[in-house]
């Protein structure tokens, strides 16, 4: 099956502002001038149809904290759709995010700690909306905004939901996130080959256009570009041409 390679620009949000962390460290934070709404408009103007946004306050607090920002982003997104994660823990949280304009919901901690709840959401909202978020530290899934650890492997968590129709997963190598050192290509090629029915998104470490091009050459399907954009190491015009 032929699939279009998809580049997904990222927005991380703390206190309603665009930020980037290094390796998930809330104390290693860079705040950027542009607002999340401005960035959504910019991404949409360049033709990107999926925008990845993380409510970092929500991930830390265990409940959505920036839903008003999500509403404004969704209203400004044009043809682009918002992929939202961070602190979605309950049925009410999930409903509130959908009502605020979330088109894709990234679920990490709940999938790891309350798999039956993620089962229910997969059934209720469908695999077009529900995205498994698997953030890996030393090969094991981290939870609660990367502040907690589990003994769950990527095979364990993907295998748990595959029979229920899982088709999308964002896998982040925490050791590479925000470090601009290139992604873990071997990790992504291995899991994509092992689970061909799941569209895996490369997340963490993209440092240049060459990294993005390599993802495409390796047959990977989706890649999130965050800090490299904000630091000027890759431009929206370059990414737009690659798409």
Give the tokens for residue 193: 């080959």
Residue 135 annotated as catalytic: yes
Whether the Cβ atoms of residue 234 and residue 228 lie closer than 8 Å to each other:
yes
Rounded distance between C-alpha atoms, residue 53 and residue 36, angstroms? 9
**Kind and range of the H or E element at 7?**
strand 6-14
Rounded distance between C-alpha atoms, residue 228 and residue 152, angstroms? 30
Assign 196 to helix, strand or coil. Answer: coil
Q: Which of 55, 57, 93, 135 is catalytic?
A: 135
Strands (E), 66-190: 81-85, 102-107, 130-137, 140-143, 148-153, 168-173
Rounded distance between C-alpha atoms, residue 103 and residue 131, angstroms? 10
Task: Give phi and psi for 138, each to the nearest 5.
Answer: 55, 40
Strands 140-143 and 148-153: antiparallel
Residue 12 annotated as catalytic: yes
* Catalytic residue IDs: 12, 135
């Amino acid at each position: 099956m032929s699939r279009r390679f998809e580049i997904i620009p990222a927005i991380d949000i703390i206190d309603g502002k665009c930020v980037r962390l290094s390796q998930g460290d809330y104390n290693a934070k860079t705040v950027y001038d542009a607002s999340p709404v401005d960035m959504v408009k910019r991404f949409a103007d360049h033709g990107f149809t999926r925008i990845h946004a993380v409510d970092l306050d929500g991930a830390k607090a265990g409940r959505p904290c920036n839903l008003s920002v999500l509403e404004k982003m969704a209203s400004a997104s044009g043809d682009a759709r918002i992929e939202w994660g961070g602190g979605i823990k309950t049925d009410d949280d999930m409903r509130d995010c959908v009502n605020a304009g979330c088109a894709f919901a990234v679920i990490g901690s709940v999938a790891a700690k309350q798999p039956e709840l993620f089962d229910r959401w997969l059934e209720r909202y469908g695999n077009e909306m529900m995205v498994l978020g698997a953030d890996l530290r030393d090969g094991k899934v981290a939870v609660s905004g990367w502040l907690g650890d589990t003994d769950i492997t990527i095979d364990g968590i993907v295998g748990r939901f595959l029979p229920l129709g899982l088709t999308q997963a964002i896998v982040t190598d925490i050791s590479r996130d925000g470090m601009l050192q290139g992604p873990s290509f071997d990790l992504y090629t291995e899991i994509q080959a092992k689970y061909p029915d799941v569209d895996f998104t490369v997340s963490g470490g993209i440092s240049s256009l060459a990294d993005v091009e390599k993802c495409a050459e390796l047959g990977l399907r989706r890649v999130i570009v965050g800090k490299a954009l904000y630091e000027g190491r890759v431009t929206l015009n370059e990414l737009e041409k690659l798409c």
